[in-house]
Amino acid sequence: MAIFASGAGSNAQNIIDHFRGHRSIKVGLIVCNKPGAGVTGIAEKENIPCLLIEKEVFFKGSAYVEELQKRRIDFIVLAGFLWKIPSALVLAYRGRIINIHPALLPKYGGKGMYGMHVHRAVIEAGETESGISIHYVDELYDHGQTIFQARCPIERTDTPESLAEKIHSLEHSNYPTIIEEVIDLQNQR
């Protein structure tokens, strides 16, 4: 699998740790759109190849499909990757790209809804719970079929930062397991 990430890479590290020594699933590539992002250091430390991608090629060119296929990538996991996935990549990997979103979709999704923006919006709306959504990726932001959701309560004293910590905990405890279940299910077909 390839992990696409744009930031520090805590979810990427968690996924790498989960699959270390796995019998049939291997993290074979880290794809990043930001030179110097923390996830590139994780790739180096873990001795996993890292592909730095350029916006022009990603959106108006090949979307790196040939490069991914050359590296024998057959599944893509988005872990804090902030660019919309172009149609060429969605078509080449239909049903084999999943994402994690830090809210209960379909609420609080779409362009610009990531990280603290999501947590602020959830709290400002007066929601009593939030959570994570793991979903297939299609041509629209945060739109593909939901695979799994986990919830957490929002206390009156919660801030966007404290909610972020709760959400991060849900991400780390659920995402690797759901990735494994989805890949195992696909391999049985």
What does residue 184 show for φ and ψ, rounded to 5 degrees? -60, -40
Exposed/middle/buried for residue 56 (C-beta within 10 Å: 0-12, 13-18, 19+): exposed
Tokens 């939901």, residue located: 146
Is 101 known to be catalytic? yes
- Exactly one of 101, 119, 135, 143 is catalytic; which is it? 101
Structure tokens of 71? 């590296």
Tell me the Cα Rg of the chain.
Answer: 16
In eight-state DSSP terms, residue 103 is: S
CA distances (Å), 173 to each of 15, 79, 126, 129, 169, in order?
A: 10, 14, 26, 18, 6
Residues annotated as catalytic are: 101
